[in-house]
Amino acid sequence: MTTPSRIALALAGVGKIARDQHIPSCAEGADFDITVAISRNGRIDGADNFTSYDEFLEKRRDIRAISLCTPPDVRFEMAKKAIASGFDVLMEKPPAATIGEAEALRELAEKAGVVLFATWHSRFANGVEPARQWLDGKTIRKVEITWKEDVRRWHPGQAWIWEAGGFGVFDPGINALSILTAIIPGQTIVEKASLAFPENRQQPIAASLKMKSAEGAPINAEFDWRQEGPQTWDIVVETNSGLLRLAKGGAELYIDGELQVEGPDREYARIYSRFAELIRSRRSDADFQPLRLVADAFLTGERHTVEAFIE
């Protein structure tokens, strides 16, 4: 039973990310109880489980907050209905399939007076906020992003990521872009991109982006889903006062080679703490710059066909 200090939450989409992150984070945290689950295939023990989203909206009007963990191609309609029903809404990344959808949801939430939280989980990694603080006031000379992982290891059997609207390598790559836009002030500009599409897929397996900061500092990013062996999630920022490196997806922060910050993964625990804070203060947090950078990469990108990807 939810206590007065805790918030009853519905969770839509009981897949891998929900089981790995959302469910344990809520169970271990101080703010939310998952009292309802909506999924065609998954269930949560102890929750009121629905297979129909519309049935849930009709029967559980007592729930006022929902976490959407579905693939982005169906999230717009689900979020739109939730907002119309008066729910405060948390959206797993990427928050929508297009910029138009994302901005429409932001406007709808504002008009309805509900909270909209577009999460970027990598922004909540241990080293990201300390990195932003260290960079504040410094001159940024260059940024290099290397984000390479094995798609077979991290996204097994997830065919939707290869379809139109599935993002391909930008599904993990947008995590790097979310960190970049959190620690570098102003708007980041995509100048050109090179996108590698397997001959049997609709989304890229690798991408190279040439960007620049609002102040003109060059920013280069390499994304690849074909990495074997050790996985690489690094962001290196050269400044007038030293070299900053975020490693392991932002979990570790180094300044001039010296480890400054490390610790256990608390990204999703911090996401839910932030959602509770937003609900209680009745404020939204809906930044779509990482999504815009992905869209700009497709707009400016040269398409290259590479060998077929067979899982």
CA 125 centroid distance within chain:
12
Which residue among 59, 81, 93, 111 is the active-site one?
93
DSSP string, the chain: ---TTSEEEEEE--SHHIIIIIHHHHHHSSSEEEEEEE-SS---TTSEEES-HHHHHHH-TT--EEEE-S-GGGHHHHHHHHHHTT-EEEEPSS--SSHHHHHHHHHHHHHHT--EEE--GGGGSTTHHHHHHHHTTPPEEEEEEEEE-BHHHHSTT-GGGGSTTS-TTHHHHHHHHHHHHHHS-S--EEEEEEEEEETT-SS-SEEEEEEE-TT--EEEEEEESB--SS-EEEEEEEETTEEEEEEGGGTEEEETTEEEE--S--HHHHHHHHHHHHHHHT--B---HHHHHHHHHHHHEEEEEEPPP--
93 is catalytic: yes
Q: At what angle do helices 170-183 and 128-135 cross, to 10 degrees?
A: 40
Residues with catalytic function: 93
